[in-house]
Amino acid sequence: MSDQDRPQIYLLTPPSFDPEEFTPKLARVLDAHQIACLRLTLATQDETLIGRAADACRELAHARDIAIVIDSHIPLVERHGLDGVHLQDGPRSIRAARKVLGEDAIVGSHCGISRHDGMAAGEAGADYVCFGPIGETHLGTGAQAEHEMFTWWSEVIEVPVVAEGALTEELIAKFAPVTDWFAVGEEIWRSETPEKRLGELIAAIG
């Protein structure tokens, strides 16, 4: 696999963290590996906490020429100097996000395991479409995005596709030929040395 064809890493933050404690860890990961994009995936709805985290992570990302997007919160993108938004409702909010943020912003869409939603998101103007989980999980319905759907997408659709959820070395090796990005988050933050763990996952790309 050539470097041009190799999937890139799309890094997710933990759902909860103290910026002062987390940013040194994040900096080590960003310095150790080539990251295509960073996504804030905070579970809280507290704007003050989200804002502090956004500002701290943006500073690290932009210092390394890495784009940073935020889950769902469209109004916070411009307020905190972020590069775009990652939407969790498939194609439904894409046009509204684009209207608010403009054509230059990144607007991505998580479409679960639905090929139909993915196609609709692409037609609505998503910059990328994310499917997942691709691995086994007890969250949600437990349903997984099938390898066949990624194979079809990579052959037919030009919109970049992201594989996310319960990644393992085996799944990364399997999906590497048919995806553009791997979204990695909890798979590394549970480790004492997340930069090392990410390196192990990247090595599986081949």
pLDDT attached to residue 101: 97
pLDDT at 112 over 90: yes
Per-residue pLDDT reduced to its tens digit, 118-174: 999 999 999 999 999 999 987 677 799 999 999 999 999 999 999 999 999 999 999
* Structural contact between residues 34 and 9, judged by C-beta atoms closer than 8 angstroms: yes
Number of domains observed in the structure of the chain: 1
What's the chain's average pLDDT? 95
CB neighbours of residue 200 within 10 Å: 13
Whether 3 maps to a domain, the answer reads: no
Whether 2 maps to a domain, the answer reads: no
Answer positive or negative: Cα dihedral of 125, 15, 164, 179: positive
Q: At 206, is the pLDDT very low, low, confident or very high (cuts 50, 70, 90)? A: confident
pLDDT attached to residue 202: 97
Domain span including residue 12: 8-203
pLDDT at 1 over 60: no
User: Contacts from 98-101 at CB under 8 Å and sequence distance 24+?
Assistant: 98/125, 100/74, 100/75, 101/74, 101/77
CATH code, 150: 3.20.20.70
Whether 1 maps to a domain, the answer reads: no
CA 68 – CA 11 distance, rounded (Å): 9
* Structural contact between residues 119 and 161, judged by C-beta atoms closer than 8 angstroms: no
Per-residue pLDDT reduced to its tens digit, 7-35: 999 999 999 999 999 999 999 999 999 99
Whether 63 maps to a domain, the answer reads: yes
Number of helical (H) and strand (E) elements in the chain, helices listed first: 9, 8
Whether 147 maps to a domain, the answer reads: yes
